[in-house]
Structure 1
Amino acid sequence: MPIKIIIADDDSLIRESLKIILEMDKDFEVVSCVDDGLKALNYCLNHKVDVALIDVRMPIMNGVQASYEICSRTKTKVLILTTFDDDEYIVDAIRSGAKGYLLKNNSPENIKNAIKMVYEGNSVIQDVVLDKIKEGIRKRDGSKIDMSMFTKREIEIMDLISKGLSNKEIADKLFISEGTVKNYISSILDKTSLQHRTQIAIYYLNGKEKNQFK
């Protein structure tokens, strides 16, 4: 079964180019192309969509708002496609529940790989986007992390998540089961009030830069 995708971007050239690129691959099916976030939300509410490719800056409803609504009201996973001047939105996009963050100038192969990773439940953050996220968090949140609430194993797992490892890869590296890894991640999410792996990675990297994680 191909991955069902909706593309939301107010730039018709980008929209149509992505559609052509993805539909050349039998692993993908572009079920709709829309030019604003509200249309993307309405489509996801009424149709089965596996992954939504969402631009950040769009009329009527921007990508951050659309991501929040789509993630909270449907089972569709969101992959944000952004540009260098969109960084003021990215931290908010993390909180909205989006699972991936890529720049639009990525190669078609990178975009396709990111879609597959997000579809499989993993998080994808490009290095240059990660830097912008960390900078945004530094500007907005100067609070100190309470290290005492984490076990040594939880810190190890946060470190590996921040390096992009999947649950299976973490399990193999630490010689524990995937189920155990999921339990640790659930514990970390509960302790931090975060919502998903991407937020754990940013939380850990931000604390590490402040020498709170060693």
Structure 2
Amino acid sequence: MIRVLVVDDDPFIRESMKVILDLDNDLHVAGICGNGHDAVTFVRQSAVDVVLMDIRMPVCDGVEGTKLLRALEAPPAVLILTTFDDDEYIAQAIRNGANGYLLKNVPPSRIISGIKTVYEGNVLIHPDIARKLAGMLETPRPEPGKALTISGLTPAEVQIVQLIADGQSNKEMAASLFLSEGTVKNYITEILNKLELRDRTQIAIFYLKLIHQ
């Protein structure tokens, strides 16, 4: 059972999300909060696996709330729900260690899937958000020639990069490529080493920069 904390300043959204998430047999809504400070207080007192976090909230928004949560000794995963126009908020949330980012207008099934994805230790970034952020976040500059050809990656690794940029989780990639999740993780480790990148989010943004330059 994945224990979820819903954080949103809108009471209607909080209660609606609680009803929706509790319908899934794998999820349990452990609580609801109205801002980031209340979320940190709740997590310190109760066991939480994933925090479903709104970005724009009074008192303590999702950006600061993410930073405070990720600084805890045993931090929960943080899945950000945002609108398409929250560019600067999203960029800062990425820097603060958020594990995933979904647009608020996605179907409930996608939110449930996203919660499970970040719970499993994967990073989830909505492809539309990744494209908007491609020019906003700094990623390490690759060696000459690598930026155009993704030099050094095997065809299989290039395919993994493309699927990461499309927002697929390790589980989804394993299913579509007929591989084990362990093999997918090994591919991602190799890709990070070859491209000198830090995490999956940087892989997605790196690729999107290539195809839009």
TM-score, with structure 2 as normaliser: 0.79
Structure 1 runs not aligned, ≥5 long:
none
CA RMSD of aligned residues (A): 3.1
Greater helix share, 1 or 2? 1
Preserved CA contact (<8 Å) 2:4 2:52: yes
The match for 1:103 is 103
| Structure-2 separation of matches of 1:151 and 1:174 | 21
Secondary structure (helix, strand or coil) at the match of 1:61 reads coil
Structure 2 runs not aligned, ≥5 long:
none
Please list, as runs of the form range in 1=range in 2, the aligned pairs for 1:189-208 lying within 5 A after superposition. Answer: 191-192=196-197, 194=198, 196-208=199-211
CA-to-aligned-CA distance 1:126-153 (integer Å, 9 cap, x gap): 233223222533xxx5985435787324
Task: Give the aligned length.
Answer: 203
Preserved CA contact (<8 Å) 2:130 2:165: no
| Structure-1 separation of matches of 2:7 and 2:185 | 35
The match for 2:81 is 81
The match for 1:22 is 21
| Structure-1 separation of matches of 2:121 and 2:139 | 30
171-180 vs 104-113, which moves further: 171-180
- Which residue identity is paired with 1:200? I
Preserved CA contact (<8 Å) 2:152 2:194: no
Please list, as runs of the form range in 1=range in 2, the aligned pairs for 1:1-214 lying within 5 A after superposition. Answer: 2-73=1-72, 74-137=74-137, 141=138, 144-147=141-144, 151-153=152-154, 156=158, 157-167=160-170, 169=173, 177-178=183-184, 180-185=186-191, 187=193, 191-192=196-197, 194=198, 196-210=199-213
| Structure-2 separation of matches of 1:95 and 1:142 | 12
| Structure-2 separation of matches of 1:100 and 1:142 | 18
